Every structure is written in C-alpha cells, then in structure tokens.
Structure 1
C-alpha cells in the first residue's frame, strides 16, 4: 500500500471518529438539557406549586378565623400558623425564581409582614376594625394566585423546551443511523472494489 493510500485510510478513520465524537457530544448536550428541564419542572415548578397551595390553605384559615371572629384561633393557633407561613416562604425562596416570579414573591413577602402587623393591631384593639386586615388577606390571596399562574406558565415553557430537546435527540439518532448505514455501504464497496481489483494469479 502506498504512502498516499495509507494517508487516505488514516484520514478516513480519523474523520469517522471525529464525526462520531461530535454526534456523541451533541447527544450528551441534548440529554443534559432534557435532564435540566425535568429537574426544573420538579424542583422549581411542582414543589413551588405545592408550597403555594399550602400557603393558600393557611391564609384561608386566617381569613375564616377573622370572618368568624374566632378568638380561640388567635389565642391558640395564630402563632403556629404564622410560623408555618414563614417556613413555607423560606422554602419557596430557595427555588429558582424567574424575574416576574421574584417580583411577585417580594410583594407577597412584604404583604405578609404588613398582614402580621395588622393582625397584631387587630388583637390589641380587642378584635375591632377587621376590615383593613381582611383587605390585606385578600391581597395575599391575589399574590398567591398570580404566583400560581406563573408556575403554570413556566411549567408549560419547560415542557415545550423538553419536547424540542427530545425532537432534536430523535433527529440526531436518525441521522446517526443513516450515517452508519452509509459508512457500512462505503466500506463494503471498498472491500468489493479491492477484491475485484486483485490480479488473477491463474492467468
């Protein structure tokens, strides 16, 4: 085999290796994106949605107690409920927040502080003038509703990204299969060509 022929074979093998390596790197990148999207949907959307639900339940509990003028709630349960709300806020804070989500969450957190202050004033006043506190609780419900809408929107966006990544992976898989078939055909043609090119020793 001549030096030029050897060079062609080495170049062909290196080219095949480079193409296979490149497709593997692309596949790995796509799988990493898919993994990130799935983790994000769980950690930063489903978990956050659950926290919002729990916060809504606790805020509603406060609202019912206020509407019923439930003094027992304020004497025995209020501090425990407030501690739970603070704990849930701390957990929500650890999720990855979008810009809109962060701004709404900051509003909610500030409104919770205001609600706690109004609640204290309401108790100190002998459970008089509940309207301002009730308005503040309604505001908290609005904040949580907006946060819930953001979760839905972001969840849909992440699902769309996951679907696009899966489509890309499927496309590259099909391309790799076609590439391997083409390589196999080329290799077979080369082998058959070399066989037919060999001189017949009987002649």
Structure 2
C-alpha cells in the first residue's frame, strides 16, 4: 500500500514539474512575442514615421524661407511632388487616434496650401497655412516620442516578467526536486525497515 502511495506522490510531483515547465514556456513565449512586436513597431511605426516628419519639415521649411526672402514670384516657390507620397505612406503605418487626427489636419492644410500656391494666393495666407502645417508636424513628432516611450516600457515589463518567471521556475523545480528526493529516501528507508523486520 505504501509503495502505491509513494508512486502516486512521485507521479504527482513529475506531473507538477512538467506542467510548471510547460506553463513557464508558454508565458515566456508570450512575453518574447510582446517584446518582438514592440521592437518591430518602434522601427516600422515610429522611427520610419519620424523620418517622414523630418523630411516633410525640411520641405515646408524651404517654402517658409522662400517666402521670407521673396516678396514676389510666388510661382517659383520650391515644389516637392513626393510630399503626397510621404503622406500616403504615413497614413499606411499603425496610427493612434491622436496621430490620425493630426495627420488628417496636416493633409487638409497641405491641400489648402496647394490651392493657394496654384492660385498664387495671398502671401500672408500661405504663411498662415505653413504655420499650421508646422504645428501639425510638431504634434505628430510628440506622438512618436510618447508612443516610442510606451512601447519601450512595455518591452521592459515583458523582459522583467520573463526574468521573474525564470527565477520562480528554478525555485519551484528545486522544491520539486527536494520533494522527489524525500519520497525516494522514504521509500528506501521503508524498504530497509521491512528487510530488518523480516530478518528478525
């Protein structure tokens, strides 16, 4: 009867060890997946977008400098056809709600700027629209910093959780190992006592 009970206990301990390793593995995979997604998002949706913002900022700044140095000849204002493509690529990235609103405002302001440039409209109005565009770009840049920081913190939390799980796994495996050893020694001790009783 004692042997059956010890076997059940041994089986229970081995099953617990197996389930612990399996659960820990699943959680670690989930945390690593979170870190991987965070790194990909930081690159694809933040660093690349920051490059878009930087390029757009330079293009619109050229227009501002042109207006500052030219009272006339608005038809010679520098044009950058790839602005439209950049705005399309920007819209195809993973956008937050705030980011979508700021980007939509930027696109509307750019459309208004194009109309004024095509009609060679009032210089002050063009400057006003360029100021609005500059504010849009500043707001979008601020979103990149905020989102990048959040993604980094999320990745750090996942890595910290992985470390904690690894430590707990080692602790539990040590406890399970000790319990297993206790059961084995108890079995040997019981067997030894039976032999002594039989000899006597």
Q: 2:192 matched to 1:199? A: yes
TM-score by length of 2: 0.87
The match for 1:92 is 90
Mapped to 2, the partners of 1:4 and 1:197 lie a distance apart of: 12
Corresponding residue number in structure 2 for 1:51: 52
Alignment of 1:1-203 (within 5 A): 3-69=4-70, 74-75=75-76, 77-78=78-79, 81=80, 83-122=81-120, 129-199=122-192, 201=195, 203=199
Rounded to whole Å, the distance in 2 between the matches of 1:169 and 1:177 is 12
- Deviation of the 1:13 alpha carbon: 2.5
C-alpha change, 1:71 and 1:185, in structure 2 (3 Å) is: farther
CA distance in 1, matches of 2:182, 2:192: 18
Corresponding pairs, count: 195
Instruction: Answer whether contact 2:106 2:136 (CA < 8 A) is retained.
Output: yes
Give the superposition deviation at 1:105.
Answer: 0.5
Query: How far is the alpha carbon of 1:65 from its aligned partner?
Result: 1.8
| CA distance in structure 1 between the aligned counterparts of 2:71 and 2:167, rounded to whole angstroms | 66
Within 2, Cα distance between the matches of 1:108 and 1:41? 22
How many angstroms apart in 1 are the aligned matches of 2:71 and 2:53? 25
Q: Distance in 2 between matches of 1:45 and 1:38?
A: 10
CA-CA distance at 1:160 after TM superposition: 1.4
SS of 1:95's equivalent in the other structure is coil
Structure 1: runs of 5 or more not aligned:
none
TM-score by length of 1: 0.86
What root-mean-square deviation, in Å, do the aligned CA atoms of Structure 1 and Structure 2 show?
A: 2.3
Distance 1:159 1:86 in 2: 31
Contact 2:24 2:169 in 1 (8 A): yes
